[in-house]
Amino acid sequence: MILVDFECSFCAVIFEESVDSAIKFGKCPECGNIANRIYTMNSGHRADPAWLESAVEVLQGDGERPIESRSEFNDYLKKNNIVQRC
């Protein structure tokens, strides 16, 4: 079990919950709607491909090898001179 942040897809309330690390959705404590898990770069957990997908979609061109981990992502940023916010 790990502590993760969720954001309600309906009322935008953000809350923390202790859940299994594979869990992607929670239940909003305010309105009971589905809340999406929030993935952050600063998370101490192993990079989860879920947060990479959108970033990679924006950055990578067709035919490039898919980025599958945080270290590959960092290397990719360096290689392409993309400034990373820390």
Binding site for Zn ion (CB under 5 A): 8, 10-11, 13, 28, 30-31, 33
24: left (phi over 0), alpha (psi -120 to 50) or beta: alpha
37 vs 70 by CB, closer to Zn ion: 37
CB of 35 to Zn ion, least distance (A): 7
> Cβ closer to Zn ion: 31 or 41?
31
Bridge-based pairing of strands 25-27 and 14-19 is unpaired
**Given the complex with Zn ion, which of 10 and 25 has the nearer CB atom?**
10
Describe the crossing of helices 70-79 and 49-59 by its angle, rounded to 10 degrees: 20
Minimum distance, C-beta of residue 9 to Zn ion, in the bound complex (Å) = 8
For the bound state, the minimum distance from the C-beta of residue 27 to Zn ion, rounded and expressed in Å, comes to: 9
CA dist 67 and 36 (Å) reads 23
